[in-house]
Amino acid sequence: MKEIPRYKCHKVVQALKITLVTPTGCNAHFIVPQEEGFEPIEVSSEWVRQHNPKPGGYYVVYEDGYTSYSPAQAFERGYTLITGETAVGTVTALQTLQEALAADDEFAWSWHCNIAMASVDEGMPHPDANRAAARFMQTCFGIDITKSKQWASLNLPPKGAD
């Protein structure tokens, strides 16, 4: 069977984690958010039948005002809380870059080399520049470039022996 195309989410939504879903007695229900400072949200019984919300999941409001429910695991895998000045586009771009580096050793090595060469251009010895670039790749992207076949081919002297 042919695989169905996959898509990556890039929407910004508002959401509250659900503590309780309780009927109001008037053909409606209250969704009680876990977050402090928010009043219960009244939804219709039809909305509850359609979305089947459960405690632990998320009440989600899309940019166009449409509301929905998402199970916790699906929501938490697909969305990251925006705090302070975090720019969604920047977070998405960095995640995309990190995933691409992790998936392609040659691409990761090209990044390592470009970072190392900038240090060499500034006068750093080549072995130190490679070590610094490796530390940068590990710190910023979680990529241990020292485990790559390309790193082994450098035959770097031990640190301090250069």
Tens digit of each residue's pLDDT (9 = 90 or more) over 19-73 = 999 998 788 999 999 999 999 999 999 999 999 999 999 999 998 999 999 999 9
| Structure tokens that stand for 55 in this block | 């405690």
Say if 37 falls within a structural domain: yes
Q: Give the single-character DSSP code of 147.
A: G
Say if 45 falls within a structural domain: yes
Per the structure, the complete domain to which residue 113 belongs is given by: 88-152
Say if 72 falls within a structural domain: yes
Three-state DSSP at 97 gives: helix
For residue 70, what are the β-bridge partners? 58
Q: Give the single-character DSSP code of 145.
A: G
Q: How many CB atoms lie within 10 A of CB 130?
A: 23
- Provide the pairing of β-strand 28-33 with 14-23: antiparallel
| Structure tokens that stand for 66 in this block | 């449409």
Say if 39 falls within a structural domain: yes
Q: Is the pLDDT of residue 91 over 80?
A: no
Burial class (CB in 10 A: 0-12, 13-18, 19+), 84: exposed
- Do 92 and 142 share a domain, yes or no? yes
Phi, psi of 67 (to 5 degrees): -115, 150
Domain edge (last residue) among 40, 60, 78: 78
Contact criterion met (CB below 8 Å) for 108 and 101: yes
Say if 5 falls within a structural domain: no
Q: Give the global pTM.
A: 0.51
Say if 57 falls within a structural domain: yes
Give the helix ranges, DSSP H, for 104-125.
Answer: 105-121
Three-state DSSP at 120 gives: helix
pLDDT at 86: 52
Say if 6 falls within a structural domain: no
CA separation for the pair 124, 54 (Å, rounded): 58
CA separation for the pair 95, 57 (Å, rounded): 24
Q: Is the pLDDT of residue 162 over 70?
A: no
